[in-house]
């Protein structure tokens, strides 16, 4: 399904649409409707449950979205958080230079510097997508942060945070003390970040206001490998290991360790792959880790793999998350700028903890779910999400609004609401109601019919229809909670 078709369904059914669309809306901002917000919250809850369970000392925190300039100066964002901007001299349309090359010529350009970008645009004779002319300004760095004036006089300067990670680094000292001075310590944040993208496109993939789910793991580099063993795990990882072979291969943990990768890093690769392929249900052939070369990755990342999912609507594998070994860069930078020590003392040894970052773009992941699981079968659209991810667990319908069918259906709906997300619908034909539920991903439809109520007498069974197969079976009303519950526990 292409992007336009998928977006049309999302907008029509209540998943998402452009923000402030009744005005001439600005690109890069999207609203989640009632179904999209529910799907997003379900994804976030699954993410928290899965990754915080990796260690009892991993915790969720929450921090402001406005950060003081000093903190972002220390992190490097004030000076280095830039993309290269080129502008069409003919129509004045600005473009992110590497994205312009990638989208018009299909060539990876993220690692190129300004002069290399200029040369590539000239060599490929790239034309402006808006006016068709090939006449661009030279590439220049453009800082992507949104500045904020704080207070009545505005003398205190800040920025909307460009990532959630800095909130975890600024809270490390406090959380380390309150969590009884133990490592590893994981601090997770789910929240909004802001990037003044030059030319945001591709819907939820590149936004100016986005949602991140990040887990920063602070650890002792001398002990972390011993705390996370994975050498004997049999699962194979789907990896493009650019430093060894440029093509996709499937490696065991032992094979990656034999190539010199740290065991703690491979362990977390295994857990991320399990989250996608088991918990979310992403087909393994549509999932991979892609190694970023030394030139492509941020200078402070010692190891950097993107987590990529193949999406038909976006034309191939696209980044949805990342696993970054950042060393001690972050805490050392904040220690230097703030003059506050970030050293810890573990068993008489003083050191600045290292950081492993698990970073997920929530919006990108939501689009990936919609792309992967919205399918067209027998002239009907089905959103084949895992049942526990669906915005509604079940629909409850009376076959007709008469003969006591609606009364029994309402009673069943009310009895299920304490445990499940239920949608009650008594309008339109039963076929149309099923179709609506299929398209929004509702896994089960419960229908009260004349086999449930005969001559005014309750017969204690209902029809339960499963979304993916359209098969139906009779289930006793007292068994509905148990019947639904066995499908709705996360894998």
pLDDT tens digits, 33-48: 999 999 999 999 999 9
Considering the domain architecture, whether residues 362 and 475 belong to the same structural domain is answered as no
Quickly tell me which residue has 């895992």 as its tokens: 386
214 and 312 fall within a common domain? yes
Indicate whether 235 belongs to any domain.
no
When pLDDT is averaged across residues 123-135 and rounded to a whole number, the result is 93
For residue 129, the domain's CATH number is: 3.30.40.230
Report pLDDT digits (tens) over 245-301.
Answer: 888 999 999 999 999 999 999 999 999 999 999 999 999 999 999 999 888 888 889
pLDDT (average), residues 477-485: 95
Cα distances (Å, whole numbers) of residue 128 to 82, 84, 388, 401: 22, 16, 45, 58
Determine, yes or no, domain membership for 437.
yes
Question: Are residues 292 and 351 both part of a single domain?
Answer: yes
The answer to whether residues 392 and 457 belong to one domain is yes
Q: Position of tokens 């380390």?
A: 176
Residue 462 Cα distances to 62, 401, 473, angstroms: 45, 16, 8
pLDDT of residue 454: 75
Burial 460-481 (b: 16+ CB within 10 A, else e): ebbbbbebeeeeeeebebeebe
pLDDT confidence of residue 449: 92
- Measure the CA–CA gap between 236 and 247, rounded to whole angstroms: 15
How is the beta sheet containing 147-150 ordered, strand by strand? Answer: 66-68, 156-160, 147-150
Query: Per-residue confidence at 29, pLDDT binned at 50, 70, 90?
Result: very high
Match 């809850």 to its residue by tokens: 45
Residue 463 in any domain: the answer is yes
263 Cβ contact partners less than 8 Å away, ≥ 6 residues apart: 225, 228, 229, 230, 231, 253, 257
Q: What is the mean pLDDT of residues 188-204?
A: 91
Which residue range forms the structural domain that includes residue 406? 383-485
pLDDT tens profile 418-469: 999 999 999 999 999 999 999 999 999 999 999 888 766 667 899 999 999 9
248, with CB counted inside 10 A (0-12, 13-18, 19+), is middle
Residue 365 maps to a domain: yes
Mean pLDDT of 212-216: 98
Is 236 a domain residue? no
CATH number, domain with residue 197: 3.30.930.10
Same domain, 56 and 164: yes
In this prediction, residue 484 has a pLDDT band, given cuts at 50, 70 and 90, of very high
As a whole number, mean pLDDT of residues 139-154 equals 91
Same domain, 215 and 312: yes
User: Between 362-373 and 34-52, two packed helices, what is the crossing angle to 10 degrees?
Assistant: 110
Q: Which of 342, 372, 402 is the last residue of a domain?
A: 372
The answer to whether the CB of 146 falls within 8 A of the CB of 159 is yes
In a domain, 331, yes or no: yes
Give the pLDDT of residue 106: 84
Residues of the chain with pLDDT > 70, as a percent, come to 99
- pLDDT of 202 reads 79
Burial of 335 (0-12, 13-18, 19+ CB in 10 A): middle
378: pLDDT strictly greater than 90: no
Token pair listed for 486: 């066995």
Same domain assignment for residues 139 and 156? no
At 110 the pLDDT is 83
Same domain, residue pair 316 and 423: no
pLDDT in tens, 56-77: 999 999 999 999 999 999 999 9
Q: Do 188 and 308 fall into the same domain?
A: yes
**Residue 17: inside a domain, yes or no?**
yes
- CATH code for the domain of 430: 3.40.50.800
Packing angle between helix 114-123 and helix 97-105, nearest 10 degrees? 30
- Which of 128, 143, 158 corresponds to the end of one domain? 143
- The residue-averaged pLDDT of 353-361 equals 98
- Report whether the peptide linkage leading into residue 366 is cis, meaning its omega lies within 30 degrees of zero: no
How many separate domains does the chain show?
3
- Cβ count within 10 A of residue 415: 16
Asked if the structure places residue 377 within a domain, the reply is: no
Residue 80: pLDDT band with limits 50, 70, 90 = confident
> pLDDT tens, 97-127?
998 998 888 888 888 999 999 999 999 999 9
Residue 118: predicted pLDDT: 95
Which residues have CB under 8 Å from 444's CB, separation 6+?
Answer: 387, 393, 394, 395, 464, 465, 466, 467, 484, 487
If asked whether residues 420 and 334 sit together in one domain, one would say no
Cβ neighbours of residue 458 closer than 8 Å, sequence gap 6 or more: 408, 452
Same domain assignment for residues 440 and 424: yes
Report whether 333 contacts 390 (CB < 8 A).
no
Which of 372, 395, 430 is the last residue in one of the domains? 372
C-alpha to C-alpha distance for 336 and 169, rounded to whole angstroms: 13
Q: Is the Cβ–Cβ distance between 472 and 449 less than 8 Å?
A: no
Q: Is 152 found in the same domain as 56?
A: yes
Alpha carbons 322 and 308: distance in angstroms, whole number: 9
Q: Running DSSP on this structure, what letter comes out for residue 146?
A: -
Q: In 10 A of CB 254, how many CB atoms?
A: 13
Taking residues 388-407, report their average pLDDT. 94
What is the average pLDDT across 199-213? 90
């Amino acid at each position: 399904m292409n992007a336009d078709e998928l977006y049309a369904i999302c907008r029509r059914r209540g998943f998402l649409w452009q923000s402030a669309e009744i005005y001439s809306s600005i690109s890069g901002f999207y609203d989640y409707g009632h179904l999209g917000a529910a799907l997003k919250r379900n994804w976030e809850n699954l993410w928290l449950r899965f990754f915080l369970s990796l260690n009892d000392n991993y915790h969720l925190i929450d921090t402001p979205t406005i950060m003081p300039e000093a903190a972002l100066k220390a992190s490097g964002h004030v000076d280095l958080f830039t993309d290269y901007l080129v502008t069409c001299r003919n129509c004045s349309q600005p473009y992110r230079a590497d994205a312009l090359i990638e989208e018009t010529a299909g060539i990876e350009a993220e690692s190129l510097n300004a002069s290399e970008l200029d040369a590539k645009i000239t060599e490929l004779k790239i034309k402006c997508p808006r006016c068709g002319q090939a006449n661009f300004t030279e590439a220049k760095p453009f800082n992507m942060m949104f500045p904020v004036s704080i207070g009545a006089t505005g003398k205190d300067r800040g920025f909307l945070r460009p990532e959630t990670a800095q909130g975890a680094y600024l809270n490390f000292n406090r959380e380390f003390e309150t969590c009884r001075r133990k490592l590893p310590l994981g601090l997770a944040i789910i929240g909004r970040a802001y990037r003044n993208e030059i030319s945001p496109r591709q819907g939820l993939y590149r936004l100016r206001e986005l949602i991140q789910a990040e887990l920063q793991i602070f650890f002792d580099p001398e002990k972390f490998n011993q705390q996370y063993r994975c050498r004997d795990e049999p699962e194979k990882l789907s990896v493009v290991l650019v430093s060894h072979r440029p093509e996709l291969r499937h490696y065991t943990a032992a094979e990656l360790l034999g190539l010199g990768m740290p065991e703690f890093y491979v362990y977390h690769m295994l857990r991320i792959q399990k989250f996608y392929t088991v918990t979310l249900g992403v087909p393994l052939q549509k999932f991979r880790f892609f190694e970023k070369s030394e030139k492509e990755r941020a200078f402070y990342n010692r190891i950097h793999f993107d987590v990529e999912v193949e999406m038909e609507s976006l034309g191939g594998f696209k980044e949805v998350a990342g696993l970054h070994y950042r060393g001690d860069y972050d805490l050392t930078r904040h220690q230097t700028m703030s003059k506050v020590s970030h050293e810890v003392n573990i068993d008489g040894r003083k050191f600045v903890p290292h950081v492993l970052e698990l970073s997920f773009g929530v919006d990108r992941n939501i689009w990936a779910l919609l792309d992967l699981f919205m399918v067209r079968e027998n002239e009907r659209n089905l959103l084949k999400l895992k049942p526990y991810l669906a915005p509604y667990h079940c629909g409850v319908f009376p076959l007709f609004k008469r003969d006591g069918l609606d009364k029994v259906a309402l009673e069943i709906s009310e009895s299920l609401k304490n445990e499940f997300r239920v949608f009650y619908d008594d309008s339109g034909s039963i076929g149309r109601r099923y179709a609506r539920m299929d398209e929004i991903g509702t896994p089960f439809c419960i229908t009260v019919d004349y086999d449930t109520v005969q001559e005014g007498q309750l017969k204690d069974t209902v029809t339960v229809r499963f979304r993916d197969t359209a098969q139906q079976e009779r289930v006793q009303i007292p068994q509905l909670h148990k019947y639904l519950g066995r499908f709705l526990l996360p894998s």
